Amino acid sequence: MKKSLFGVIAISLTLFGCSDQPGPTPTKQAGDPAAGKIIAERDCKACHGLDGKGVAPAIPNLAAQREAYLYNSLKEYKDGQRSHAALKNMATNMSEADLRNVAAYFASLPPIASAASGDIKHSSPYEKGKILAAACTNCHGEDGNSTIPGTPTLAGQQPHYLVAAIQEYHQGDRAKDAMRSILRDADSADLESIALYFASQKPVKRGAPAHGDPAAGEPATAVCGGCHGANGVSVDAATPSLAGQDAQYLEKAIKAYRTTRKNWGMQRYVAGLSDKDIENIAAYYASQTPKAADQVPTSTQELAAKCDRCHNQPASPTMAAPKMKGQDKDYLVMALRAYRDGKRESSTMHTMSFPYSNAIIDSLASWYASQPAN
């Protein structure tokens, strides 16, 4: 993946303008809600309620959902594009008219009153990360700009790389007892939140390094730029930026690929370097001007605004995007992970959700679930 987080989102937004959606098959004749109610009473009530409210977590609310979307979903279960054994069974045994009628019934119901909304705590991964990061700032600096030789700056580092690096300490793959003990009780959403916080901070330029010769180091970095970017500013979310990093840390990290750190590309490229070369390369990168990873979303509302381009629009024959406000939180989490991981078909939603960590998905889902249904 050579795209930054926001690159992917930006591209997905330009490629998939809402009106270009391969829309739902327009309902040829309107369904009959009264006939649909009979089916709902017999087959759907146990899980979706007669009022269209999912009876348990992870069962979606259907009340006031768009009729065309409901009909489409049922067709997808029937045709096997969405996998859920019970729904496939039911949908297969229903006639075309039954599908239309039951979709019309649930669409005609009033939205679920949002009495429970207040119960859903919506967490911002950025705010959570900021709180957790307090345990790191003694060493890594207030905003992730380290001033202690040997301790790396985390500010503006590429987010996927940071998650991976933090996980390596968490799991003990990279030995550093101080960090291992701090991170011991963190779960993966915590780790992602910390990474998001640091990735969003602004890195600052350093003074001249104490050792090494930047000018002598520069030619040796020609082979590094293909992955680490021009002057060490990486544009790939999984490859670390080196510009403005602490020189002593850089030296140690490069040498570690000869021994403990495993990465096929890195091991190959550093194998032939002498200690003197490494010192000069470190001095070169340390003295470059750093630049933060492309803007990382810091508020859930900021992200949701992008989703609302499709999901919070008036119904139209070409708009297949379902309503999400007031939807069951667990269901939304499950649906988003399924798109991201390629387990539910929709190229648009796969592109949208691809860059999102579980922490971001969780915050988006809790935000939508806590909004009054419309």
Q: What type of residue is 327?
A: Q
Q: Enter the DSSP assignment of 146.
A: -
d(CA 173, CA 177): 11
Q: How far is CA 236 from CA 7, 40, 43, 104, 351, in A?
A: 10, 49, 49, 46, 17
Angle of CA points 137, 364, 179, to nearest 5°: 25
CB 235 to ligand HEC: min, Å: 13
Taking the least distance from each CB to ligand HEC, the nearer of 5 and 62 is: 62
- Token couple for 59: 């069962």
Closest-CA residue to 233 (of 168, 174, 148, 292): 292
Taking the least distance from each CB to ligand HEC, the nearer of 3 and 252 is: 252
Taking the least distance from each CB to ligand HEC, the nearer of 117 and 227 is: 227
CB 156 within 8 A of CB 290: yes
- Token couple for 336: 């988003």
Q: Is the dihedral of CA 315, 331, 166, 154 positive or negative?
A: positive
Q: What type of residue is 26?
A: P
CB 213 to ligand HEC: min, Å: 15
Taking the least distance from each CB to ligand HEC, the nearer of 296 and 364 is: 364
CB 79 to ligand HEC: min, Å: 12
Query: In angstroms, how far is the first alpha carbon of the chain from the final one?
Result: 37
CB 289 to ligand HEC: min, Å: 17
CB 118 to ligand HEC: min, Å: 21
Taking the least distance from each CB to ligand HEC, the nearer of 80 and 110 is: 80
CB 192 to ligand HEC: min, Å: 11
Taking the least distance from each CB to ligand HEC, the nearer of 228 and 325 is: 228
